Amino acid sequence: MNRERWLPTALRRETDPAFSRLLRTRRREVADELLEAAVWHGVAPLLHRRLGADRALLTPEVAQRLEDLHGVATLRNEAMEAQLREMLARMDSTTPVALLKGAHLALRVYDDPGVRDMIDIDLLLSPDAARRLQGRLVERGFATRPQWERDNPGHHLPRLERPGSHDVEIHTGIAPGDAPFRVDLDALWSRMESRDYGGRAVAHLAPDDALLHLCTHTAFDHRFLTGLQGLCDADALIAEAAARLDWDRLVATARDDGRAPYAYVALTLAADLLASPVPAAPLSALRSGPADDEIVAVTREYLLDRSESLPTGFVRFRAATTWRGRAAGLLGSLFPPDDDLRRIYGPQTTGLRLLARRLTRPFEVLARRRRVVIDLLAGQDRVAPLVEKDARARRLRHWAERTDS
């Protein structure tokens, strides 16, 4: 079994006897690799749960670290749930509201809320209800991010932040404005399921709509930058909603609104890497041709490659054929535009902080990337894998934005 397959195999629902034997015979090596990979992919709490009896085969240090990360995620999600209940209590009980993404997954899909770490709360409301909730949260100390006007995706209001609280994203749709597909929101609301939550009805997407949204969010919104987490979410939803999941409707919806390529790639990888029980017929119906399988292969390599991505300036340096072009590429990484500095270091990078980043950025890059800079200048082959990863990332971005390519 290839090393890069160890984590996906450990995350499967059914224990793989061959992997258990590998863990017994190469205990420290496999345990250390699992921890490092799980943290990188953001699935360490889930790995703690999935290993089950095999946790006893880990080294004590790795087993304890996974248990600690699971505990931290549990506490964070409990705080998130308390915040969510407070928000819902302040809303009109007759206002339709739906949980999206992490909030839905952690509280309604995974059987252990501590296995799906949360970073924010995503809610879907009508435009009028969204603005009312936004106003109430601002009154309670939440504020929007300064860079919103530049980064506005068009399907949710400005992200709301408050020290000591989870960020809140209030959605009015589930597809970014620049997406090459359109989602029928009226049909989406008409198919939603509802459950009692904190004394009021709270909706969530029907299983097929939720799965299609997860696939699209992972493949289009994030270009698979979230690693294996998106595939693990899809796997969990398929298992939890097995009896209710309408595969025929998922295929019809995806083909009708343009999301079929994203669903095919994500579900094919979930079946391949995590052994998710995806029926063959829907996959075949979602597939448009050999080009889809080529993207699956590119994405698989990209997902399992944990090497560091090259900064854009370094890529330009590598591709340049003249010293002037190379100098421009290297200087672009050392002295990026102010907008890039804010994206790298956060929206609070303004004023004196921005000036400080301008001054310290060259030293920081050279300190962190010294080996890469030397290899680039010397034309060493050690940089080649990083360049190849960047090429895969660019191909995925192109595919995500133009799914007919």
Residue 157: CB partners within 8 Å, gap ≥ 6? 130, 131, 134, 169, 170, 171, 172
Give me the mean pLDDT over the 91-111 stretch. 88
If asked whether residues 233 and 329 sit together in one domain, one would say no
Domain's final residue, options 290, 306, 322: 306
Q: pLDDT category, 375, cuts 50, 70, 90?
A: low
Domain's final residue, options 205, 239, 270: 205
Residue 255: CB partners within 8 Å, gap ≥ 6? 285, 286
Q: pLDDT category, 149, cuts 50, 70, 90?
A: very low
Q: Which amino acid is at 80?
A: M
If asked whether residues 123 and 210 sit together in one domain, one would say no
| Chain segment 181-231, per-residue pLDDT in tens | 999 999 999 999 998 887 788 999 999 999 999 999 999 998 998 899 999
In sequence order, the β-bridge partners of residue 52 are none
If asked whether residues 111 and 199 sit together in one domain, one would say yes
Query: Which tokens go with 135?
Result: 């106003």
Tell me whether residue 77 is in a domain. no
Domain extent for 44? 3-70
In sequence order, the β-bridge partners of residue 201 are 196
If asked whether residues 124 and 174 sit together in one domain, one would say yes
Stretch among 17-31, 59-73, 113-127, 378-392 having the lowest mean pLDDT: 378-392
Contact (Cβ atoms closer than 8 angstroms) between residue 45 and residue 26:
no
Stretch among 51-60, 69-78, 210-219, 310-319 having the lowest mean pLDDT: 310-319
Say which residue, 340 or 335, is predicted with more confidence.
335
Give me the mean pLDDT over the 256-278 stretch. 97
Handedness of CA 182, 187, 191, 197 (dihedral sign): positive
Would you say residue 25 has pLDDT above 60?
yes
| Chain segment 228-244, per-residue pLDDT in tens | 999 999 999 999 999 99
If asked whether residues 201 and 98 sit together in one domain, one would say yes
Tell me whether residue 59 is in a domain. yes
Measured CA to CA in angstroms, residue 321 lies from 207, 242, 314, 325, 367 at distances of 51, 54, 13, 7, 26
Helix (H) or strand (E) holding 161: strand 160-161
Cα separation, 74 vs 93, whole angstroms: 28
Tell me whether residue 85 is in a domain. no
Would you say residue 42 has pLDDT above 80?
yes
Tell me whether residue 83 is in a domain. no
Stretch among 78-92, 121-135, 372-386 having the lowest mean pLDDT: 372-386
| Strands (E) located in 308-379 | none
Tell me whether residue 135 is in a domain. yes
Q: pLDDT category, 383, cuts 50, 70, 90?
A: low
Cα separation, 224 vs 217, whole angstroms: 9
Greatest mean pLDDT range, 139-148, 172-181, 395-404: 172-181
Give the DSSP per-residue string, 251-280.
Answer: HHHHHHHT-HHHHHHHHHHHHHHH-----H
Would you say residue 39 has pLDDT above 50?
yes
If asked whether residues 183 and 156 sit together in one domain, one would say yes
Tell me whether residue 78 is in a domain. no
Give me the mean pLDDT over the 117-135 stretch. 91
Tell me whether residue 81 is in a domain. no
Size (the chain), residues: 405
**What integer pLDDT is reported at residue 119 of this predicted model?**
82
Q: Is 219 exposed, middle or buried (0-12, 13-18, 19+ CB in 10 A)?
A: buried
Cα separation, 202 vs 195, whole angstroms: 6
If asked whether residues 274 and 172 sit together in one domain, one would say no
Would you say residue 370 has pLDDT above 60?
yes
If asked whether residues 378 and 338 sit together in one domain, one would say yes
**What integer pLDDT is reported at residue 51 of this predicted model?**
93
Mean pLDDT score of the chain, rounded to an integer? 87
Cα separation, 46 vs 44, whole angstroms: 5
Give me the mean pLDDT over the 254-265 stretch. 96
Give me the mean pLDDT over the 259-288 stretch. 97
Helix (H) or strand (E) holding 169: strand 167-171
Greatest mean pLDDT range, 152-166, 202-216, 340-354: 202-216
**What integer pLDDT is reported at residue 153 of this predicted model?**
59
Contact (Cβ atoms closer than 8 angstroms) between residue 341 and residue 349:
yes
Q: pLDDT category, 91, cuts 50, 70, 90?
A: confident
Q: What is the pTM of this model?
A: 0.83
**What integer pLDDT is reported at residue 382 of this predicted model?**
59
Total count of domains within the chain: 4
Say which residue, 388 or 201, is predicted with more confidence.
201
Domain's final residue, options 306, 324, 352: 306
